[in-house]
Amino acid sequence: MDSEKIESAVRTILSQIGEDPNREGLAKTPHRVAKAFEALTVGYAQDPALVLGDALFESASDQMVLVRGIEFYSLCEHHLLPFFGHAAVAYIPNGKVVGLSKIGRMIDIFARRLQIQERLTEEIADAIMQTVEPKGVAVLVSARHLCMEMRGVQKYNATTTTSALRGRFLTDIRTREEFMSIVNAPAKDRY
């Protein structure tokens, strides 16, 4: 990634919106924006399969493992504006389980690329299917999109929810219902 090219592009944007890129408050802005984009798109240089594959453990359990309330921040690929929210991930082990903290790390890797929420949701489910090889995976993502809210396309605080189901969660309605009821339970009932 060539920071100087990003900086010069940001200077172009600043002058095109009628600003003076040389005024004091903006002088370091191109550099800051380049740094910010470097951090917000660091996921391109990281491999989610590697993160998950590093933390697999044998397990005889075939009970649903569910993590919810996993915060994430991403950029929409249509406007380069943030969308952010929470993900819930469940899977049914088939001989292997994965370290729980790695699920959040894996989501961060996908989120720190330009995304649409639908693809982010699918990519999370597929990464777990491919590395943990469980009997099924369910992913639910709820997010606010600033590209809609700030431009007035959508009411403030509206959330968009997407889901991706694989294996048992697709074929067995009871497994799916169990997932949904745990995910939708208020936090105080769970902890």
Residues forming the site for Zn ion (CB under 5 A): 76, 78-79, 147
Which secondary-structure segment (H or E) carries 137? strand 136-145
133 in catalytic set: no
* Closest distance to Zn ion from the beta carbon of 34 (Å): 21
118 in catalytic set: no
Integer angstrom CA distances of residue 101 from 34, 66, 134: 29, 12, 17
145 in catalytic set: yes
79 in catalytic set: yes
* Closest distance to Zn ion from the beta carbon of 76 (Å): 3
Which entry of 78, 118, 130, 177 is annotated as an active-site residue?
78
- Helix, strand, coil proportions of the chain in percent (round to 5)? 45, 25, 25
- Closer to Zn ion at the Cβ: 83 or 91? 83
* Closest distance to Zn ion from the beta carbon of 109 (Å): 20
Which entry of 115, 122, 123, 145 is annotated as an active-site residue?
145
- Closer to Zn ion at the Cβ: 76 or 128? 76
d(CA 89, CA 31): 37
Integer angstrom CA distances of residue 140 from 9, 68, 165: 36, 9, 9
31 in catalytic set: no
| Residues present in the chain in total | 191
* Catalytic annotation, residues: 76-79, 117, 145, 147
